[in-house]
């Protein structure tokens, strides 16, 4: 089974995804990810990551043979380029400090062959933060969420518990509010929080949250 990336440029209109995915299915391809890159009058660009058990060249040829397709070609997968994603959400100053630790640690792993990327979004407000937490679980390749702030609770705590049930690792700064009670790991120093989160999602690091005897640092 080979995982390939495909970018398809097609005529915009109803049924484009249906026709393209129909060809992929006819080759026993299992679509792992799909994204609409651009949609404007007359043209649509879509990206697919597909597990293909057979000849990917035949799949590409059949896609290019579709009347609606202007061009279909291979591209590198997002997993290969950006790899696992760590999302940092919260107050601007705290987000910056967590990102500092996470980026430095990710660089150490990436130069040894891993692919770990770090995304940040400074936000304030209970509703906005709760929506952001829930949205992280829908992001492709997202493995961990770091909540960086000084006060979080209420609906944010509910959102944290929901995404943890979906398998997302949640790290919280040691802050006021009930979010630290709901997180997998609580770290007081923001730089250390970034470092420990990268270590937790790394395939090469020996650090494991499950093996910790305590979860607050």
Residue 132: closest CA among 141, 140, 142, 121: 121
CATH 3.40.50.10550 domain span(s) along the chain: 82-211
User: pLDDT of 41-87, one tens digit each?
Assistant: 888 898 999 999 877 888 899 999 999 999 999 988 888 888 899 99
Q: Is the pLDDT of residue 206 over 80?
A: no
pTM of the model: 0.79
Q: Is the pLDDT of residue 207 over 80?
A: no
C-alpha distances in angstroms, 217 versus 85, 180, 186, 191, 200?
23, 11, 6, 12, 15
CATH 3.30.70.260 domain span(s) along the chain: 2-79
User: pLDDT of 9-33, one tens digit each?
Assistant: 999 888 888 999 999 999 999 998 8
Q: Is the pLDDT of residue 1 over 80?
A: no
Query: In CATH, what is the architecture of 2-79?
Result: 2-Layer Sandwich (3.30)
Average pLDDT over residues 108-112: 89
Query: How many whole angstroms separate alpha carbon 33 and alpha carbon 142?
Result: 13
What is residue 35's predicted lDDT score, i.e. its pLDDT? 86
| Residue 214 pLDDT grade (very low, low, confident, very high; cuts 50, 70, 90) | confident
Average pLDDT over residues 197-216: 79
**Class for domain 82-211, per CATH?**
alpha beta
Strand order in the sheet with 30-40: 30-40, 43-52, 2-10, 69-75
Q: Is the pLDDT of residue 210 over 80?
A: no
C-alpha distances in angstroms, 87 versus 92, 122, 171?
14, 11, 10
């Amino acid at each position: 089974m080979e995982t390939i990336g495909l970018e398809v440029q097609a005529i915009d209109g109803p049924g484009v995804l249906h026709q393209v995915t129909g060809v992929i299915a006819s080759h026993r391809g299992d679509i792992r990810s799909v994204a609409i890159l651009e949609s404007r009058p007359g043209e649509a660009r879509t990206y697919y990551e597909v597990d293909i058990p057979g000849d990917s060249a035949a799949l590409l040829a059949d896609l290019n043979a579709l009347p609606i397709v202007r061009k279909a070609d291979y591209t590198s997968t997002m997993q290969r380029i950006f790899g696992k994603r760590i999302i940092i959400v919260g107050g601007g100053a705290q987000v910056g400090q967590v990102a500092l630790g996470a980026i430095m640690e990710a660089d150490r792993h990436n130069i040894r062959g891993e692919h770990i990327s770090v995304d940040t979004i400074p936000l304030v407000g209970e509703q906005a933060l709760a929506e952001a937490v829930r949205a992280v679980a829908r992001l492709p390749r997202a493995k961990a969420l770091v909540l960086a702030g000084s006060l979080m609770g209420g609906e944010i705590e509910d959102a944290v518990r929901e995404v943890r049930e979906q398998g997302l690792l949640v790290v919280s700064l040691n802050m006021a509010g009930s979010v630290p009670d709901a997180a997998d790991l609580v770290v007081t120093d923001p730089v250390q929080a970034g470092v420990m989160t990268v270590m937790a999602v790394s395939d090469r690091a020996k650090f494991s949250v499950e093996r910790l005897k305590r979860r607050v640092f």
